[in-house]
Structure 1
Amino acid sequence: MENIKTQQEPKKVTNNEVTKVAVAYGDGIGPEIMDATLRILEAAGANIQPEKIEIGEQVYLSGNSAGIEKSAWETINRNKIILKAPITTPQGKGYKSLNVTLRKSLGLFANVRPVTAYAPYVDTNFAGMDVVIVRENEEDLYAGIEHQQTQDVVQCLKLITRPGCEKIVRYAFEYAKAYGRKKVTCMVKDNIMKLTDGLFHNVFKEIALEYPEIESNSQIIDIGSARLAANPENYDVIVTSNLYGDIISDIAAEIAGSLGMAGSANIGTNVAMFEAIHGSAPDIAGQKIANPSGLLNAAVMLLSHVGKTKIADTIKNAWLTTLEEGYHTADVFQEEITKEIVSTSEFANRIIENLGKVPKKLPLSNLASGNGNIVIPTYKRKKQKQVLVGVDIFINWKGNNPNIIGDALNSINSFKMKLKMITNRGVKVYPDGMKETYCTDHWRCRFVDVNSKIEGQKIYNQVDFEKVIALQSKLHNEGFEIIKTENLYEFDGKRGFSLGQGE
């Protein structure tokens, strides 16, 4: 992660300059591993000046549903760099994920998670594993936009944007180019979600053409996850959307040996946040057995990000040496490998003692030799012709016979709009639906212009928005409960909406 640049490049410093960092001690094991990490940074001469911020469980429980106070935002915006231990979100309704809030509010669009095996000192079946997962960090289902629409049905909106796709895909290729990676793999599910995941995949194919020197391929996320778990050596850089990236990052870290070893960087144009990928582990908090390696590796990425690559190498090599010497926390204990099980603070002490040493068997950290230079251009929207061709009207109806609601809607002749189909849970149930389909109280009713051709080659005529409003008014007056509408558009003549299953 050395010398990373985005369009607005973060200020770089020399190895001797003081770097002010907003530091969140977190919850559970957070304070223990943060203390250990900061001691190592201080001993290595990193010249980090921590400015503590209060976020997480106690802020939530004080009545702040966001989990972060205004003063913390001010500190973050002043320092531009965050080192964050894991936090706990209290169980129950009303608490938004602070991790998601930080990533989205600060524009941290790229979550970068290098995952390396440290065999034989950390047990793994994949000694040669060296994968970087680049995860889109701001949108997808993690936008957290959910609604209960009927008694039986809730929804979560999956938001995928072209600018979001372009930023993260280009970041993945730029990362590969900057650090000598040979291949970028895109993981999507566009065989089912043809518009959302289809957009991500199409952008990937477009941008891949600009990097002919880098091999590119795509995989469906389910088989891709299985292949990653079985043969991680076949992967180099993986780029994917938010939810998929969250899942496969943990898969990769686990098969590499331990979730407790991996750190991550959250990169934006103005702010960057560095954290361990594991949780707050409240079950072992206070027992002094937590492994600080994940947060320490995140701190190494932080040092590289601000230009202190020599110190980053010094710390990483001392950590690797400590692993080789067999001083391990209990979570990575191996009977024939571990020389001594050490506490969190004892592990930090061993690393401090090894500052200046380099590993004999594990690959040497050599971040200072890199010349990473990642530039993400400003998004430029291309003008498209957008034409309204219909509307999906979602109706709350407690019946279970689609012919009854279908015939009732068909009898409504409203301003030259006609019913094209009805789906229930995405499956076409009217006209000519399958009797076996279970129907709940959530009906998608598609209306198009009365002159639209719907047999053979589908041709949708343009619809005036006033007709859509008038149709909704008439349905309401006829006693139908409308819970949601989605306008149907064509963009440059291409359908911008999905067909029903069986349509």
Structure 2
Amino acid sequence: MSIKTPITIAYGDGIGPEIMQATLNILDAAQAQIDPQVIEIGEKIYLQGNTSGIPDSAWQLLKRTKVLLKGPITTPQGGGYKSLNVTLRKTLSLFANVRPCVSYAPFVATQHPNIDLVIIRENEEDMYAGIEYRQTEGVYQCLKLITQPGCEQIIQYAFEYAQKFNRKKVTCFTKDNIMKMTDGLFHRIFNEIAAEYPAIEHEHLIIDIGTALLASHPERFDVIVTLNLYGDIISDVAAQVVGSVGLAGSANIGNQMAMFEAIHGSAPDIAGKNIANPSGLLNAAIQMLVHINQPEVASLIENAWLKTLEEGIHTGDIYSSTYSKQKVGTQAFANAVIERLGQQPVHFKPTDYKKGAYTRIECYGSRPHVCSDKKLVGVDLFIDNHNDIPAKDLAEKLSTLMSPLQLIVITSRGLKIWPNSMIEAPYLRHCACRFQSSADLNNLKSITPQDIIQLLSQCNALGLEIIKTENLYLFDGQLGFTLAQGQ
């Protein structure tokens, strides 16, 4: 008798319980060797006063099973509740979000019948770190954090995935024409790692044109790897281009743990009506079965699901008068899939996940690192200029400071407003004053933290409210900061 793999189940909120039960019924009928263990997370836990949406007991179970099949979650509005999805991904180190996007034409309407691509999204960094601040009366900040190990890990995973699943090309999306340091790092590491996989074609596109091409010519893509925010957006674009967000499953992969879910939300407006399409969660469960090395069961279920689609048994979200023959609810759709277990699709190519072919991909971002020569050369002082002191007057005030640092530029929202600004009415309430050891970027000298402390003390004596500081460094003689627009 086969040993059953323990997995954690979270039914979720809204339509979650309905589609989860439908999915579990199919897994049971297909004799998946799993031992489901249920946790309660989400809206009910939030409303009990737990701002993370998950109790300690659930964490303990997850650590034991290392696999989570999760229904969609409702995050209550207001109250400081944090996204449970983001919490799970970061706490469990689920660095890779893997979203296959396949068209099922003509049975699911789409203008692009030949789509077969996978979006691999970095899952832990970027602006989804959720580090935000309110700095002045009307200025808010969200930090975009990108790390070298994080880039290496997700990009290596994308190439390993392409190699293992016989994909031919990996495309990188960034916005490094604007964000030259953060997105520039991702692009540079992509090029470095791509060179290690000469058999796989690679290309880079700016996210703007990349997204446009994804919408207009999705067939040209095979595997896309990108940063967290971009990946979140384009994966929904791709799912909609395919024909329905309700069909897509998602895998969140770490080196030790994994989480599988549908990409759609909890849809509380249709909860309890037995009309939700369980296909997204079912496809996530199929990915889970491959992950836990039950590829035969995964193939059995996917082929039955494809057979159900091509025979026109559809839920309302994909029903059409042309290709649909029967409109069914959630449980009836699941029953139709169960009835077709063991059958092969005719229109679609049958799925055959090979036993042992999909061993887990482990990537640690452990490429050799060289320690840089790091030199402190200046500081940006961010000021809440609540008295609306004109930039010229502010500069004159700061020129009285006794410091080895020179005031170089004053900016507002990244734009130079002093010296020699052409802007007549800049937004001054939030401004940054850059001090450097020299105005000559090629002749920057080292300073000490004490120099910055003295500068802050003198600014305080002038009645200036410093809301943030950002140290300026050279790394191996290269600037570790960008210049202001117009500088």
Superposed CA deviations along residues 78-128 of structure 1, whole A, max 9, x for unmatched, are: 110000000100011310000000000000000000000000111111110
Instruction: Tell me whether 1:362 sits opposite 2:348 in the alignment.
Output: yes
Give, in whole Å, the separation in 1 of the partners of 2:466 and 2:197: 48
Q: 1:462 aligns to what?
A: 446
Give, in whole Å, the separation in 2 of the partners of 1:109 and 1:323: 32
Superposed CA deviations along residues 212-233 of structure 1, whole A, max 9, x for unmatched, are: 1111111111111011000000
Supply the AA of the counterpart residue of 1:313: S
SS of equivalent residue, structure 1 residue 152: coil
Q: 1:303 aligns to what?
A: 289
Which stretch has the larger CA shift, 375-384 or 307-316? Answer: 375-384
Q: 2:402 aligns to what?
A: 413
Supply the AA of the counterpart residue of 1:413: M
Instruction: Tell me whether 1:397 sits opposite 2:359 in the alignment.
Output: no
2:254 and 2:362 in contact (8 A); partners too: no
Give, in whole Å, the separation in 2 of the partners of 1:28 and 1:296: 17
Equivalent of 1:179 in 159, 165, 170 = 165
Q: 2:155 aligns to what?
A: 169
1:65 and 1:96 in contact (8 A); partners too: yes
1:25 and 1:34 in contact (8 A); partners too: yes
Task: Summarize the alignment of residues 4-19 of structure 1 with structure 2, pairs less than 5 Å apart.
Answer: 16-19=2-5
Instruction: Tell me whether 1:443 sits opposite 2:431 in the alignment.
Output: yes
2:391 and 2:428 in contact (8 A); partners too: no
SS of equivalent residue, structure 2 residue 344: coil
Query: Please, what TM-score do these two structures have when normalized by structure 1?
Result: 0.94
Q: 1:376 aligns to what?
A: 363
Give, in whole Å, the separation in 2 of the partners of 1:369 and 1:323: 25
What is the Cα deviation at residue 47 of structure 1? 2.2
Task: Summarize the alignment of residues 160-309 of structure 1 with structure 2, pairs less than 5 Å apart.
Answer: 160-309=146-295
Give, in whole Å, the separation in 2 of the partners of 1:184 and 1:95: 36
For structure 1, the residue ranges without an aligned partner over 5 or more in a row are 1-14
2:406 and 2:439 in contact (8 A); partners too: no
Give, in whole Å, the separation in 2 of the partners of 1:235 and 1:176: 12
Equivalent of 1:327 in 307, 310, 313 = 313
Give, in whole Å, the separation in 2 of the partners of 1:448 and 1:270: 45
Runs in 1 of length 4+ with deviation above 3 angstroms?
A: none
1:152 and 1:440 in contact (8 A); partners too: no
Cα root mean square deviation, aligned: 1.2
1:175 and 1:372 in contact (8 A); partners too: no
Give, in whole Å, the separation in 2 of the partners of 1:34 and 1:459: 63
Instruction: Tell me whether 1:497 sits opposite 2:481 in the alignment.
Output: yes
What is the Cα deviation at residue 381 of structure 1? 3.6
Q: How many residues align?
A: 484
What is the Cα deviation at residue 400 of structure 1? 5.3
What is the Cα deviation at residue 418 of structure 1? 1.0
Equivalent of 2:373 in 380, 385, 395 = 385
SS of equivalent residue, structure 1 residue 330: coil
Give, in whole Å, the separation in 2 of the partners of 1:188 and 1:210: 20
What is the Cα deviation at residue 48 of structure 1? 1.7
Give, in whole Å, the separation in 2 of the partners of 1:405 and 1:203: 41
| Residues 93 and 194 (structure 1), Cα distance of their counterparts in 2 relative to 1, 3 Å cut | farther
Give, in whole Å, the separation in 2 of the partners of 1:234 and 1:401: 52
| Residues 400 and 250 (structure 1), Cα distance of their counterparts in 2 relative to 1, 3 Å cut | farther
Give, in whole Å, the separation in 2 of the partners of 1:366 and 1:436: 66
Supply the AA of the counterpart residue of 1:431: P
Give, in whole Å, the separation in 2 of the partners of 1:266 and 1:288: 27
Give, in whole Å, the separation in 2 of the partners of 1:249 and 1:257: 13
| Residues 446 and 453 (structure 1), Cα distance of their counterparts in 2 relative to 1, 3 Å cut | closer
